[in-house]
A and B are shown apart, each in its own frame.
Chain A
Amino acid sequence: MMTYFPEEVVEHIFGFLTAHCDRNAASLVVQGVVPPAARLRRNCYAVRPERVAARFPAVRSLTVKGKPHFADFNLVPPDWGGLAAPWIEAFASSPTAAAAGGRGGRAGGGGGGAPLEELRMKRMVVSDECLETLARSFPNFRALVLISCEGFSTHGLAAVATHCRHLREIDLQENEIEDRGPQWLSCFPESCTSLMSLNFACLKGEINVAALERLVSRCPNLRSLRLNRAVSVEALSRILMKAPQLVDLGTGSFWVDHRSEAFHRLISAIERCKSLRSLSGFWDASPLCLPAIYPICSNLTGLNLSYAPAIQGSDLIKLIRHCWKLQRLWVLDCIGDKGLAIVASTCKELQELRVFPSDIYGAGSATVTEEGLVAVSFGCPKLHSLLYFCHQMTNAALITVANNCPNFTRFRLCILEPKKADPLTNQPLDEGFGAIVRSSKGLRRLSLSGLLTDQVFMYIGMYAKKLEMLSIAFAGDSDKGMLYVLNGCKNLRKLEIRDCPFGDGALLENVAKYETMRSLWMSSCDVTLGGCRALAAKMPMLNVEVINERTKAKSRGSPSDFHKVEKCVYRTIAGRGTTPRFVWIL
C-alpha cells in the first residue's frame, strides 16, 4: 500500500517512527526510497548487502553489526566472519546509488558518487582495502565509527584522511588496529577544517604529534578529541592551548612530574577548557597528577578512570569530591566500597556507573562488594545503567538496590566467581535478581551471575516485559529456566547463554519465538547436534550455525547427533556467503 504514496508522504510517516527497530521493520515493507534522514541498521548476515543497497540506494547512514557479543570475550573463533567489504562494495558500486547520489547530491558534494555519509560498524572485520574503497567511493562521506573491529591498519586510516573531504568524525573505539606508522595524521589535507570528533585512543604505537597539533589548530569545530597513550602530557598541553573549546577529551599518557613546569603548563591548559564536560584516558596516571584536573571537575558530567590502576581509593575519593555534576562514571574496583560511598554522597546526578575489575587473577585487597552498590543506590536515585564487577553479592543488597532504584534500563552484574551464592545466607541470588526485574519495569538489558536456579528465570519471564537482551552464564537447573525466558519475555531480541544446563528440549519447545528475535547464542550447554539439526529443519528461515573449535581426532569424523556443540542461531533472510571450515550451517 505504501508504494502508492508519493515520497513526501512516506517521509512524513517515517518521521513518526523514532525507534530504530520500528524503522527497520517498516523499511522491509516499504518500497521506494527511504528518506535520507532515516538510518539503516542491519546485522551483517541478516540480509545480503547487495539487496539492501539496491533497495535503499539513497541511504546516508548505515550501521552494520557483525560478530555476536560473546566474541568480545574470545568465545568466537577468529575468521568466523563479519566482513565489512561486501557492504562497502555493495554501496559503492550500486548504480542506483550513484544515480541517487547525483540526483540528491548536496551542495559542495559534487555530482555523482554514492551518497553514503555515515558508516557505523561493530565487531566487523574491516580491511585497508575496503577503507580505501570507502574513501574513494563516497564523496560526501562524513562520519566513520568503528567499534571492536579489526583487520585494518593505519594505512586504511590514511586513505580515509586523504580522500574524504568533508570528514566530521572518525571514532575508533576499542579496535584492533595494526600500527604501520604515524603518517596517517599527516594525510589530512590543509583544506580539512571540518573535523568535529576524532578518537584514536585505541591506537597502539606512536603518532605524528606535530601533524596532530596542526590539524587541531585548523579545526575550530572540534568538540571531541581522544588521544592514544603515545601522546605525552607536554603534547597534550600544547593541543589544549589550541583547542580550548573541547567538550570531550581523552588524554594520552597522563604522567608528569608534578613539580615540573610541564605540570603547571598542563594545569593552565586544562583551566582554559571551560567547555570540557567529559574526560577519559588517564593512562599511567599517578595520583600526584590528578590535581591538574581539579579546576574543571565541577563541570564534568562524564569521567572514565578505568585505565588508571595506580589511582587508588583515597586519591579517587579526593577527586570525586570535586565532581558533583557527574552523570557517567567508569572506574576500577580499587575505588572500594568507601569510594563508592563518597560517589553516593557527592554525585547526585549519577545515571551510569561502571566498576571494572583491576586484578582478576590475584588476591587483591581493594575490591568492591555489595556494600558499595547499596551505598550508590541510596545516594543516586537517577541511576539507570549499571555494570558492576564484584567479588560477592547478597540478596538483601539486591533487594535494597531494587527498592532504591526503580529506573534501571541496563543492569549488568558480574560476580567474578561463577556460581557464587549469597555469602550471608548461602542461598542462590534468585530473589535478589527477581527484585530487580520486578521493580525496574523499563529494564532492557540484564546480565546475571552468581548462584542461580530456574527460579530466577521464572521471575524474569514474569516481570521483565521490556527486556531485550539477556546474558546468562553458569546458571539454572533445567530446560525450564530457558523456557521461562523464551515464553515470558515478549520483547526479547538477543539471548546469550554459556555453561548452563539447557538442552534440546529448551531449544526446540518454542521455535516460533526465534522469529521475533535477532539472535540466540548457546555455548557449553547441553544442546546436541541433533537438536540443532531439528531446529534447522523446523525453521528453515533461521540460519543455524554450529561452531566446533576442536576439529582434531576427537571429533571422529562426522559427529554423532549426541555430540554437544557450541552453537549460534541467527535470524536471517538470506544465508551468508563464505563459511569458515569450523562453522557448519545446518
Chain B
Amino acid sequence: MVSRGNSGGQSCVGAVEEKKLELRLGLPSGEEWSTVKERDREQAHSVESHGGHFSKVAKSNISNFCVGSNGGFLGSVELNSQGFWQQQGLLQLQAKAGVVEEPKEKTNGSGEKQQSLDKKGCGPPEAHAAASGNSAVANNNSSQTRTTTTPVVGWPPIRSFRKNIAYTSKPFPEPQNESSKIVTKIESKEKGLFVKINMDGIPIGRKVDLKAYDSYEKLSLAVDELFRGLLAAQKDPLAPGTQKSAEEKQAITGLLDGSGEYTLVYEDDEGDRLLVGDVPWNMFISTAKRLRVLKSSDLCASSLRTVSRKRTATDS
C-alpha cells in the first residue's frame, strides 16, 4: 500500500537542506557561520548541477524556510542579511524546542535517504519550483523513524488546551487490565488508609479505612454502620444498645446530598473542610486526612462560605 512516512518523498534539495540542518545544530560562532555559509554556497552549487532551474528554488526555499521557522513571535527578518538571520531564527526555535536527540536520528535518516534518492534520481524536470522545496521545516521530522516535529509557533493550528492531550496527567491511576487491578487492590488493602471519623454529638470517634471502599456510596454505608449504634445509644442512653436490632436503630442516610439529618465532610491535606462527593473517588482518598459527620443544619450559608474550595490541578 502506500508507504507511510517520508522515505520516498524527498527530493535532492530536500536532502541537501537536511544536511544543512545538521551542521547548524551548534551555537553560533563567527567561524561556524562562515563554514555554514560556505556549505550553503557549495550546496547551492551542487543543486545547480542537477538542473539549472533548481538554483533559484534553493534560494527562495531558504527564505521561505526561515521566515516560517521564525514564526509569529520572533519578529521581522531583515532582507539584506538573509544568511545570519535565517540561522539565528532556526537556532532560537530549536533551542526553545529543546529537542536534543534529533541530530543523531537526522544523520541516519538523511544518510539513508541520500542513498535511496540516488537510486531514484531527482524529481521530474517539470516539477514545480516548490516541489523541490520539501523545505527544511519538513525535513525536521522526515527521517524514516518518524522523529519529533520541530515546533513552529502557532502550528499545527489547534488551541493550547488540545496540545499534549495524550500527556494530560490524570490525578489518579489509569485503570489497568483485570489481573493487575486485582493485584493493585490487594496491595492497597494491605497498606490501608485509616482516617479518623467523628460525628456530631458523639464523643467517641472511629477509624475507617478509605481503601476498603471504591465509591462514595460504599463509604456512606460504612459510616452508617459505624455510627448507627452509637447514635442510638446517645439518644437513649439508658437502653442497652445491643438489645435493639439493626433495623430498629435509625439509619443514617443522605450523607452525601444534603438530604439527611447529617452531612459528611472531610479535611484535606491543607486543613480545609470540604463536602464529600465532589471530586473523583481516587482523588478524594489521596487528599482526605480526616472525616466528620456534621449536622446538616449546622452547614448554614455562613459556614459554607468559610469552607474554602481548593483548586485542584485537574487539567494540564
Residues of A within 8 A of B (CB): 70, 72-75, 77, 148, 174, 179, 181-183, 186, 204-210, 213, 229-235, 238, 253, 255-262, 265, 283-284, 286, 288, 306-307, 309-310, 332, 356-364, 369-371, 389, 391-392, 394, 414, 416-424, 426-428, 430, 447, 451-453, 455, 471, 473-474, 476-477, 498-499, 501, 523-526, 528, 548-550, 554-555, 559, 562-566
B148 contacts across to A, CB distance below 8 A = 361-363
Interface pairs A-B: 10 shortest CB-CB = A550-B75, A73-B154, A75-B72, A499-B68, A262-B215, A363-B146, A286-B175, A75-B154, A359-B166, A564-B76
A210-B307 Cα distance, complex, nearest whole Å: 13
A286 touches B277 (CB 8 A): no
Name the residue among B157, B158, B167, B305 with the largest chain A CB count within 10 angstroms: B157
Known: A73-B155, A75-B153, A309-B165. A451 touches B279 (CB 8 A): no
A473 touches B155 (CB 8 A): yes
A-B contacts, 29 of them at CB < 8 A, read A75-B153, A181-B309, A186-B304, A204-B315, A205-B311, A232-B280, A234-B217, A253-B280, A255-B175, A255-B280, A260-B215, A261-B217, A261-B218, A284-B172, A358-B165, A359-B167, A360-B163, A360-B164, A362-B148, A414-B157, A419-B134, A420-B9, A428-B128, A453-B128, A477-B60, A477-B129, A524-B71, A562-B80, A563-B78
A499 contacts across to B, CB distance below 8 A = 64, 67-68
Taken residue by residue from 86 to 97, chain B's Cβ proximity to chain A (1 for < 8 Å, 0 otherwise) reads as 000000000000
Q: How far is the CB of A547 from chain B (nearest CB, A)?
A: 9
B201 contacts across to A, CB distance below 8 A = none
CB closest residue in chain B, given A550 = B75
Q: Which of B11, B161, B304 contacts A174 (CB 8 A)?
A: B161
A201-B310 Cα distance, complex, nearest whole Å: 18
The answer to the question of B312 belonging to the interface, with a C-beta cut-off of 8 Å to chain A, is yes
The answer to the question of B253 belonging to the interface, with a C-beta cut-off of 8 Å to chain A, is no
A416-B279 Cα distance, complex, nearest whole Å: 36
Question: Is the interface on chain B under 10, 10 to 19, 20 to 34, or 35 or more residues?
Answer: 35 or more
Known: A394-B2, A477-B128. A418 touches B138 (CB 8 A): yes
A230 touches B278 (CB 8 A): yes
Known: A73-B155, A206-B311, A234-B277. A549 touches B72 (CB 8 A): yes
Q: Which of B5, B128, B153, B312 contacts A230 (CB 8 A)?
A: B312
Q: How far is the CB of A229 from chain B (nearest CB, A)?
A: 5
B123 touches A426 (CB 8 A): yes
B281 touches A420 (CB 8 A): no
A307 contacts across to B, CB distance below 8 A = 165
- B 233-279 contacts with A by CB, 8 A: 256-258, 275, 277-279
The answer to the question of B55 belonging to the interface, with a C-beta cut-off of 8 Å to chain A, is no
- B 108-153 contacts with A by CB, 8 A: 123, 127-131, 133-135, 137-138, 141-142, 145-149, 151-153
A419 touches B77 (CB 8 A): no
The answer to the question of B39 belonging to the interface, with a C-beta cut-off of 8 Å to chain A, is no
Known: A253-B280, A423-B5, A498-B154. A524 touches B129 (CB 8 A): no
The answer to the question of B160 belonging to the interface, with a C-beta cut-off of 8 Å to chain A, is yes
Main DSSP-derived SS at the A contact region: loop
CB closest residue in chain B, given A524 = B67
A525 contacts across to B, CB distance below 8 A = 67
B257 touches A230 (CB 8 A): no
CB closest residue in chain B, given A148 = B159
B154 touches A564 (CB 8 A): no
Q: Which of A253, A286, A430, A564 contacts B67 (CB 8 A)?
A: A564
The answer to the question of B168 belonging to the interface, with a C-beta cut-off of 8 Å to chain A, is yes
Known: A360-B149, A501-B60. A235 touches B277 (CB 8 A): yes
The answer to the question of B156 belonging to the interface, with a C-beta cut-off of 8 Å to chain A, is yes
CB closest residue in chain B, given A476 = B130
CB closest residue in chain B, given A394 = B2
A238-B276 Cα distance, complex, nearest whole Å: 14
CB closest residue in chain B, given A261 = B217
Known: A186-B304, A548-B76. A206 touches B129 (CB 8 A): no
CB closest residue in chain A, given B8 = A423
A230-B171 Cα distance, complex, nearest whole Å: 11
A417-B6 Cα distance, complex, nearest whole Å: 11
CB closest residue in chain A, given B1 = A371
**Known A75-B153, A370-B2; 7 more pairs at CB < 8 Å:** A74-B160, A205-B311, A206-B310, A230-B278, A360-B156, A361-B149, A559-B76
B257 contacts across to A, CB distance below 8 A = 210, 213, 238
A229 touches B314 (CB 8 A): yes
Q: How far is the CB of A257 from chain B (nearest CB, A)?
A: 5
B27 contacts across to A, CB distance below 8 A = none
The answer to the question of B308 belonging to the interface, with a C-beta cut-off of 8 Å to chain A, is yes
B67 touches A262 (CB 8 A): no
Known: A262-B216, A498-B154. A230 touches B279 (CB 8 A): yes
The answer to the question of B3 belonging to the interface, with a C-beta cut-off of 8 Å to chain A, is yes
B174 touches A70 (CB 8 A): no
A417-B218 Cα distance, complex, nearest whole Å: 50
Q: Which of A310, A451, A524, A564 contacts B134 (CB 8 A)?
A: A451
Q: Which of B9, B156, B215 contacts A416 (CB 8 A)?
A: B156
B60 contacts across to A, CB distance below 8 A = 477, 501
B153 contacts across to A, CB distance below 8 A = 74-75
Taken residue by residue from 201 to 231, chain B's Cβ proximity to chain A (1 for < 8 Å, 0 otherwise) reads as 0000000000000111110000000000000
Q: Which of B5, B129, B137, B163 contacts A474 (CB 8 A)?
A: B137
Name the residue among A261, A370, A564 with the largest chain B CB count within 10 angstroms: A564
Q: Which of B11, B74, B305 contacts A550 (CB 8 A)?
A: B74
B149 touches A416 (CB 8 A): yes
A423 touches B314 (CB 8 A): no
Q: How far is the CB of A418 from chain B (nearest CB, A)?
A: 5
Known: A73-B155, A499-B67. A426 touches B72 (CB 8 A): no
Name the residue among A72, A74, A360 with the largest chain B CB count within 10 angstroms: A360
Q: How far is the CB of A181 from chain B (nearest CB, A)?
A: 6
The answer to the question of B79 belonging to the interface, with a C-beta cut-off of 8 Å to chain A, is yes
B72 touches A498 (CB 8 A): yes
The answer to the question of B162 belonging to the interface, with a C-beta cut-off of 8 Å to chain A, is yes
CB closest residue in chain A, given B159 = A72
Q: Which of A231, A258, A288, A426 contacts B11 (CB 8 A)?
A: A426
A564 contacts across to B, CB distance below 8 A = 67, 76-79
Q: How far is the CB of A263 from chain B (nearest CB, A)?
A: 8
A414-B162 Cα distance, complex, nearest whole Å: 15
A419-B152 Cα distance, complex, nearest whole Å: 13
A565-B67 Cα distance, complex, nearest whole Å: 11
CB closest residue in chain A, given B282 = A255
A223-B175 Cα distance, complex, nearest whole Å: 32
Name the residue among A261, A421, A565 with the largest chain B CB count within 10 angstroms: A421
B123 contacts across to A, CB distance below 8 A = 426
A548-B163 Cα distance, complex, nearest whole Å: 26
A183 touches B305 (CB 8 A): yes
Q: How far is the CB of B279 from chain A (nearest CB, A)?
A: 6
Q: Which of B130, B152, B278, B311 contacts A451 (CB 8 A)?
A: B130
A526 contacts across to B, CB distance below 8 A = 63, 67
A418 contacts across to B, CB distance below 8 A = 68, 135, 137-138, 152, 155
A361-B80 Cα distance, complex, nearest whole Å: 34
A181-B272 Cα distance, complex, nearest whole Å: 13
A390-B187 Cα distance, complex, nearest whole Å: 42
A501-B160 Cα distance, complex, nearest whole Å: 27
A563 touches B76 (CB 8 A): yes
A265-B127 Cα distance, complex, nearest whole Å: 63
Q: Which of A205, A265, A359, A392 contacts B4 (CB 8 A)?
A: A392
Known: A74-B160, A265-B217, A309-B166. A419 touches B135 (CB 8 A): yes
A414 contacts across to B, CB distance below 8 A = 156-157
Taken residue by residue from 56 to 86, chain B's Cβ proximity to chain A (1 for < 8 Å, 0 otherwise) reads as 0000100110011011111111111000000
Q: Which of A73, A265, A371, A394 contacts B159 (CB 8 A)?
A: A73
Q: Which of A75, A206, A253, A554 contacts B309 (CB 8 A)?
A: A206
A186 contacts across to B, CB distance below 8 A = 304
